Structure formats: C-alpha cells, structure tokens
Amino acid sequence: MFTIEHEFDSTCVTLVDEGDVHLQEDVIINSFEECITVEQYDPREDRMHKVTLSLTQMRDLIAATQLPEGVYRRADED
C-alpha cells in the first residue's frame, strides 16, 4: 500500500510494507524541486535515516529498474 500527499513545497509518497511475514518500517519519499529524500525509521537505533538524491540520480534509479545487469551512462537530454 502507498499514499501520495501534495504539500506546499513537495510531494510526499509513503510506502507501507503489508503482509504476514517480517515487515519493514514505512518508507517516506519527499520530492522537492531540487532533490528527492528517502527516509525510514530504524527501531534498533530509534532514529530516522535519510538519503538525499539529486534529480539526476533519481532518473538513473528509475532507468536502472528497467535494465539488465551492467554499467550505463544516460545520454544527455537536449
């Protein structure tokens, strides 16, 4: 399950891990004009972990989900 919320300066997507087996904490993805942040709570450390991706890194990640194993470089967009 996931939710999408539009905030003043970002779009927030929350991914909820549902199921009967070992579940992970929710993943929160915030999309800003200049970057993407990914956050997840770590109960062992009792804190949130945050990763910040540039928009280029996010585009590469999206492309990588559609490609086989290998090393790639995206062609510059005109």
Give the span between the Cα atoms of 8 and 47, in whole angstroms: 25
What is the mean pLDDT of the segment spanning 51-72?
A: 90
Q: Please, which residues bridge with residue 15 across strands?
A: 2, 27
Tell me which residue range forms the domain holding 14.
Answer: 2-64
Convert the pLDDT of each residue in 9-54 to its tens digit: 999 999 999 988 879 999 999 999 999 999 999 999 999 999 999 9
Number of domains comprising the chain: 1
* Contact (Cβ atoms closer than 8 angstroms) between residue 23 and residue 42: no
Residue 70 domain-assigned (yes or no):
no
Residue 33 domain-assigned (yes or no):
yes
What pLDDT is attached to residue 64? 87
What pLDDT is attached to residue 76? 67
